[in-house]
Structure formats: structure tokens, C-alpha cells
Chains A and B, each alone.
Chain A
Amino acid sequence: MSWVTTTLSSTLGRKVVMSLTGLFLCSFLIVHLVGNLQLFKGDEGRAFNEYSYFMTHNPIIKTISYLLYSSIIVHALMALVLTRHNQASRPVKYAYAKPEANSPWTSRNMGILGTIILVFIIIHMRTFWYTMHFGPVVLNGETITAGSIPQVTYDGEPIKDLYAVTVFAFSYLWYVALYVVSMIALSFHLVHGFQSGFQTLGLRHKKYSPLIEFLGTYGFGIVIPALFAAMPVYIYLKAHHILF
């Protein structure tokens, strides 16, 4: 075996793959969040639509997006391989175990939390990514658009109105609830995952570990998932003329 295959078939090497893909996904979350914050602009979605147009047409962004899709797939597959290996490492379970005495719940449930996130990503991509690229989507038995995604015209340029698709999707309460629950799962996944990713790479030192812990707990654990969850809630309330 070459040194690459030896490394990638070791538990440590596999964790490095988890860490690099996971942390790359974390960096993507920031970009995705900043872009989507345009939804809060009271401009009938113009800034959001222009941002969506840019993201789907810029060649650099398009290249990075393939890296993103493969990261999700590799992260999920590696999670499966590691979880199976870890379960096989203890074939006989304890009759009585008290893991809450020595470790946080999030750290012991990364696989379950990740699975919720994976289901979310599939639904999320179907609703928005698929619609943006391939046209209409059927939600709850109703077709959002007939034939193709609606267009808007800004300064004489017609572009796809993803904002309309977004507002439509988030006018359903169950769909909003799905997003909120998924963001809670993401929060728990990252409260542990962000810090763990650095530990896996051996990046741990009293100089900077407190900062990683702070960013993981408050930034990726609270602020980012909360802002993401606020988007469907805000649009739902606005669409139904509650509060906004």
C-alpha cells in the first residue's frame, strides 16, 4: 500500500478526512449565511436574487460548489465507515453505563445529529438548488410554478426569481418547522464538531484553543444556526402578515 492509502485507512487518517471536510463545510456556512441575510432586506428580494444569480454564474464559485458537494458526500460516507468501526469496537455493551457523567451529549451523538442534517440537506437542495437549476418543484401536492421558475427583470435584465420560490416554500408551517429543527441539530453538531475538528488536526494550544472553543460554542453553536433559523420564521410571519 502507498503511504496515502495506509494513512487513509487508519482511524487517525479517516478522522482527518472528517475534520477537513467538516471544517470546509463550516467555512461554507459563513458565506452561505452572509448571502442569505439579503432575505432580510426590505427590497422585495432584489438583493437576494442578484446574489443567487452571482452564485450560480461565477466560475470560481461554481468550481468551489463541486468541492462543496463532494465534501458533504465524503463527510457522510466517512461518518458511516467510522461509526460502524466504532460500534464494532465494543461488541458487548455494558448492562449499566453512565456516559453523562464523563462526556457531553453532543459529543456522543454526532452520527444521529449528522443524519438529521443529511436529510435536511437533501430536502433543502431539492427545494432550492434543484428548482434553481432544473425548474419547478412540487411542494405538498401543489406545483409552485408552471413549467419554469418565475423571472423578474432588474434594469432590463431578466433573472430567475428565487426569492418567490423561497417565500412560497416558507409559507408552509411544517416546512418552517423542519428548518428550525434542523438548525437545532446543526447547532448541536457544531458545538462539538468545530472544536473536535481542530483537535483531530492536532491544533490545540492554550494560546488559541480558548478562541476555537468560543467560536465553536457561540459562533457556530448559537449565532449561525439562529440566524439561519430566523430566515424561514421571518418569511413565514411576513407572508402571513403576522408581526411584519
Chain B
Amino acid sequence: MDIALKVWRQKNSQTPGKMVDYKLSDISPDMSFLEMFDVLNEDLSHKGEEPVAFDHDCREGICGSCSMYINGRPHGPQTGTTTCQLHMRSFNDGDTIVVEPWRARAFPVLKDLIVDRDAFDRIVQAGGYVSVNTGSAPDANEILIPREVADEAMDAAQCIGCGACVAACKNASAMLFVAAKVSHLAVLPQGQAEHQLRAERMVAQMDAEGFGACSFTGACSVECPKSISLDHIARLNREYLGAKLASNNA
């Protein structure tokens, strides 16, 4: 296949960037989108130009690092997949593909397509955990959890922290991510002790990072590679409001 690319190039967070055109030929439809970028970068290296910087790690849809805004959508035209799981057969011969980094105040561009997603880590550090005393591992069946509850928790726990929800949202809101992180602990007995403080602290951190508010457009859930449901955002709203009305925290 012949492909024309328009890629965002930016030297570092201080320098303004711009879209740059590239042409590639003999691209196999079986290549993944990232492999196509590997070919581009090899070309660029041979020509003595700086390769395009992009995040990637597992290349099998589990690490969440391969952030690319492709043809107007996070992770490209397919739903339920990451960029590394997207294949060139999803495009046509002769297509022009526009590739940009995630755009959000809370995700500053570091270089080319790489953005700084530390804001997500800081939100999780604010309360996305269960405090336990270290020691020997607890017995697996000590706390019995009904199947439905475990499933609901697992649906939320699938979140890989990729940031596609923020990238897709017109408000650059991180509500789906925060909802997933609050929800998977809120439904489990282990998460009960800290559930009020967790919701309050994580929302406060989300706001402090400069993410937008939720307008319930549903774009996040459609673009989420793990198809995390808007039900979790409703639960986050309940957790937060309930905590504000009932907790003893400031």
C-alpha cells in the first residue's frame, strides 16, 4: 500500500510544533500501525533525519502507552483497540493519515507524539489503592466475593491508563479514567474502608491537574480500548456526592 502521513513534529515542550508530510510505499496491510511507524523511522534514520518519537511498550494492547490520535480519533478508526492492535488493512491504498499527540492541558507534549501522562499517576497516588499491612499473603478465600461483583470490579479494573478517554473528550475530561479507578475498588469489600476519602481525594487531584468536567457525551467510552462503561462514571458521581454529604473529611 501507498500511504501519505501528516505527523505532528515537536522538538520539546518549549518549542512550537507543526504537521510534517511523509510518504511511504510498499506498506503491507498486515502490518500494525506501529510497525508502519517503525518503517517510517527507519527511512528517516537512513536519510539522517530525526525519527518520530512515539510511546510504545507491550504492542499487545495491555500497557496503554501507544497514544496516537489518528484521523481524528484516539487509536484510530477501530473501536475497542489500541494503536498497536490497529492494522494497516483498516486503511485504503493511497490514504492520507493524520497523526497527532493527545491534546490536553494536563498532558503536555514532551516530544512529537509523546505526551506526559504523570497526571494520571498523581491521581492514582491520591487514593487509587487499598492500604494494607505488609506481611504474608492473605488467604485467597478469606473474603468471599459474589461472581457478579467480581465481574463488575473487573470491568473497571481493565483500564490500562492509556488516556484515550481524555483525548476523545471535547472537555479533555478524565472522568472515565478516574471512574474506572474509583469504581473497581468501590464495589469490592476490600475497598470499603477508604471509599469516601478515595473518591474525594482522587476527584480533587483530577481537578487540580486541569482536566475538564464531564458533559456525558459518551465519547470516552466509545473510544476506550477496554470499552469501559459510563455506568462507572455514574458510580463515581454517587461515591463523590455521598462522600461529600456523609464523610468527616474536609
| Chain A residues at the B interface, C-beta cutoff of 8 Å | 1, 3, 6-7, 10-16, 82, 85-86, 88-99, 101-104, 107-108, 110, 192, 195-196, 199-204
Are A91 and B207 interface neighbours, CB within 8 A? Answer: no
B228 within 8 A of A: no
**Residues in B neighbouring A199, C-beta threshold 8 A:** 216, 230, 233-234, 237
- Given A13-B244, A88-B105, A98-B73, 16 new contacts (CB under 8 A): A1-B250, A10-B203, A11-B173, A11-B207, A12-B241, A82-B213, A90-B212, A93-B103, A94-B69, A97-B72, A98-B71, A101-B72, A101-B73, A199-B216, A202-B235, A202-B241
Q: Measuring CB to CB, which residues of chain B are less than 8 angstroms from any residue of chain A? A: 6, 8, 19, 69, 71-73, 77, 98, 100, 103-106, 168, 170-173, 203-204, 206-207, 210-219, 222-223, 230-231, 233-241, 244, 249-250
Cross-chain contact A3 with B103 (CB below 8 angstroms):
no
| Bound-state Cα–Cα, A86 to B106, Å | 12
Q: In the assembled complex, how far is the CB of residue B103 from the closest CB belonging to chain A, in whole angstroms?
A: 5
Distance to closest chain B CB from A216 (angstroms): 12
- Is B231 within 8 A of A204, CB to CB? yes
Q: A99–B170 contact, CB under 8 A?
A: yes
Q: Are B218 and A89 in contact (CB under 8 A)?
A: no
Provide the bound-state CA to CA distance between A13 and B168, in Å. Answer: 23
**Number of interchain pairs (Cβ within 8 Å):** 136
Cα(A239)–Cα(B83), bound, Å: 63
Taking a contact as CB atoms closer than 8 A, the residue among A10, A12, A110 that contacts B215 in the complex is A110
Q: List 9 A-B contacts (CB under 8 A).
A: A7-B244, A11-B173, A15-B237, A89-B104, A90-B172, A96-B72, A101-B222, A200-B214, A202-B237
Find B212's partner among A13, A89, A110, A204 (CB 8 Å cutoff).
A89
- With contact pairs A90-B105, A107-B217, A202-B235 given, residues A85 and B212 touching in the complex (Cβ less than 8 Å): yes
| Option from B19, B172, B217 in Cβ contact (under 8 Å) with A89 | B172
